[in-house]
């Protein structure tokens, strides 16, 4: 019974040794250090190697703010932030600045709104003055047929297309000789 267990131990040791001795491709940036001494990162903190990317992802995933919620450090930081906020709000100069900023912002928003309303009213007036056809249209009920007054709408494109295909239509010829005779006679009539 111990034979297969020994064989398993030997096989696991051999696999471990092979994994350890595996050569991976080294990037030329792996040994490069930034100004903080971190290998594989440039000076702005951007990872240059695949290994550095994996390390950065791992670090980001492991750091979650939820892990620190309710911790003593979290309470201390919240208390300090609240105290600083209270000091700022108690300071009359700071309060005066904030009120002035809100007042200026409200005035700008109001003037922008007035300008926008003015532009909209101008556009409405211009569109009404340039296109008055909608004022004189008589409303028709749904399903009411338009009265046929006998007028015909003529489209210049349709007339040109019809003239080229129907009006000036040349007859079909059996051979080229008859066609050339027809064209010569037609040209003499025009001249």
- pLDDT in single tens digits along all 191 residues of the chain: 578 889 999 999 999 998 888 877 777 888 888 888 888 888 888 888 888 899 888 888 776 656 666 778 878 888 999 999 888 888 888 888 888 999 999 999 999 999 999 998 888 888 776 555 555 555 555 655 666 666 777 777 776 666 655 555 677 888 888 888 888 888 887 77
Asked whether residue 115 is domain-assigned, the answer is: yes
Phi, psi for residue 175 in degrees, rounded to 5: -145, 175
Between the alpha carbon of residue 119 and those of residues 48, 106, 109, 129, the distances in Å are: 53, 20, 15, 15
Q: What is the extent of the structural domain holding 88? A: 72-129
Asked whether residue 83 is domain-assigned, the answer is: yes
Asked whether residue 113 is domain-assigned, the answer is: yes
Asked whether residue 103 is domain-assigned, the answer is: yes
Asked whether residue 142 is domain-assigned, the answer is: no
Residues with Cβ within 8 Å of residue 89, at least 6 apart in sequence: 95
Asked whether residue 121 is domain-assigned, the answer is: yes
The tokens for 101 are 């900023």
d(CA 183, CA 173): 11
Q: Does pTM top 0.75 for this prediction?
A: no
Q: How many domains does the chain have?
A: 1
Asked whether residue 119 is domain-assigned, the answer is: yes
pLDDT at 83: 92
d(CA 90, CA 103): 19
d(CA 17, CA 6): 16
Asked whether residue 116 is domain-assigned, the answer is: yes
């Amino acid at each position: 019974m111990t034979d297969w267990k020994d064989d398993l131990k030997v096989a696991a040791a051999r696999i471990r040794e092979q994994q350890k001795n595996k050569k991976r491709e080294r990037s030329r940036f792996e040994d490069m250090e930034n100004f903080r001494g971190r290998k594989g990162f440039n000076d702005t903190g951007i990872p240059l190697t695949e290994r550095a990317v994996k390390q950065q992802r791992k670090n980001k995933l492991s750091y979650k703010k939820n892990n620190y919620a309710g911790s003593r450090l979290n309470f201390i930081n919240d208390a300090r932030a609240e105290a600083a906020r209270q000091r700022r709000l108690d300071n009359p100069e700071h309060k005066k600045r904030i009120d002035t900023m809100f007042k200026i912002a409200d005035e700008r928003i109001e003037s922008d709104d007035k300008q926008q309303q003015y532009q909209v009213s101008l556009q409405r007036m211009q569109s009404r003055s340039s296109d008055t056809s909608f004022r004189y249209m008589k409303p028709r009920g749904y399903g009411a047929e338009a009265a046929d007054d006998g007028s015909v709408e003529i489209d210049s494109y349709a007339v040109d297309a019809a003239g080229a295909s129907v009006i000036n239509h040349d007859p079909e010829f059996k051979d080229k000789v008859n066609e050339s005779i027809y064209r010569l006679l037609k040209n003499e009539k025009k001249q």
